[in-house]
Amino acid sequence: MRKNVNAAFYVPYVLWLGLFVIAPMLLIFYQSFFDINHHFTLANYATYFQSGTYLTMTFNSVWYAFVITVVTLLISYPAALILHYMKHKQLWLLLIILPTWVNLLLKAYAFIGIFGKDGGINNFLGFFGAAPMQLLFTDAAFIFVAAYIEIPFMILPIFNGIEELDENLVNASQDLGASSWQTFTKVTLPLTMSGVKSGVQAVFIPSLSLFMLTRLIGGNRVITLGTAIEEHFLTTMNWGMGSTIGVVLIVAMVIIMFLTGERAKHRVKGGRRHV
């Protein structure tokens, strides 16, 4: 009896996974084998891997996601470290998380206002005679906004990693004559690596399929796989091709998870969400 009850505890978990994770993925996989006339075909995959367009797009997506992740990481790690030594760190942390409560679309529109020709930045540059500069629809603007949006999701896991770090280890390292730099590279960084890895996962993977920002901030001068999926589902009505790109993205994500995943057990803290 006891054993049965224990097994029964898996039911909600399995149901949830089956209905909301496995089934949708299978559906995407299934869809990807149909062409625009609903005939079974492998042509979608052939198209994907033979056309320069999709390969370039894949390369672009990975490249942008990589740059966004690096920028985010470079800002987040020092920020998390400083946060750790702050007096009211929970308050500061809350302030960093606060922007995630605001809808992404609103933030994007706010940036349109800031980067615009008559926007805040160009008005400021105007004092130095450098305005108006084209800021909107540039790579830099796209990466800036994407990084801004992703930063909380990078800071959280890193911050948690640093919090879990035993302060005595840092003290011991310094007592034993290590410089601050040595302490950081030999003790702090390796021991908080799991936080960095979860942060990278939480940022890189959604960045691969950003699509709304590519149009609003990038003006479709930045094209990622997400843009192509949107187009295939909404405009071309070629669900097969859209699903094929979806499958490629899922595979890419599995690879990233594998590369950044830790062999030993690790905890992922800090949320994930839809972008």
Partner 1 sequence: MKKLLSGIFAIIIVCMALAAGSARLAKSQGATGGNVLNFANWGDYIDPALIKKFEKETGYHVNQETFDSNEAMYTKIKQGGTHYDLTVPSEYMVEKMANDHLLVPLDKSKLTGMNNFGKDFMNQPFDPGNKYSIPYFWGTLGIIYNDKYIKPGAIQHWDDLWSKKYRGQIMLIDSARDIMGMSLVSLGKSMNTTDTPTLAAAKAKLDTLSPNVKAVVADEIKMYMGNNEAPLAVDWSGEAADMMYENSHLHYIVPTEGSNLWFDNFVIPKTAEHYKAIYAFLNFMSNPKNAAQNTDYVGYSTPNNAARKLLPKSTREDKSFYPTESTMKRLEVYKDLAPTVVGKYNDYFLEFKMFRH
The binding site for partner 1 (CB under 8 A) comprises 5, 8-9, 11-13, 15-16, 19, 36-37, 53, 56-57, 60, 112, 116-118, 134, 136-137, 215-216, 219-221, 223, 227-228, 231, 234-238
Choose between 53 and 182: whose C-beta lies nearer to partner 1: 53
**116: burial class by Cβ within 10 Å (0-12, 13-18, 19+)?**
middle
- Shortest distance, position 66 Cβ to partner 1, whole Å: 18
* CB of 4 or CB of 90, closer to partner 1: 4
Q: Specify the residue, 107 or 221, whose C-beta has the smaller distance to partner 1.
A: 221
The least distance separating partner 1 from the CB of residue 12, rounded to whole angstroms, comes to 3
- End-to-end CA distance of the chain, in Å? 45
Closer by beta carbon to partner 1, 40 or else 85: 40
Q: How far apart are CA 237 and CA 121, in angstroms?
A: 40
d(CA 92, CA 129): 37
Q: Which is nearer to partner 1, 59 or 124 (CB)?
A: 59
**Angle ∠(82,140,84) on CA atoms, nearest 5:** 10
CA atoms lying within 13 Å on the CB side of residue 49: 6
CB of 221 to partner 1, least distance (A): 6
CB 122 within 8 A of CB 116: yes
CB proximity list for 125: less than 8 A, separation 6 or greater? 131, 132, 133
Report in angstroms how near the CB of residue 223 gets to partner 1 at its nearest.
Answer: 5
* CA atoms lying within 13 Å on the CB side of residue 274: 4
Q: State in angstroms the smallest separation of the CB of 189 from partner 1.
A: 37
Residue (163 or 231) nearer to partner 1, CB: 231
Cα–Cα distance measured from residue 248 to residue 34, given in angstroms and rounded to the nearest whole number: 15
Residue 104 CB, nearest distance to partner 1 (Å)? Answer: 15
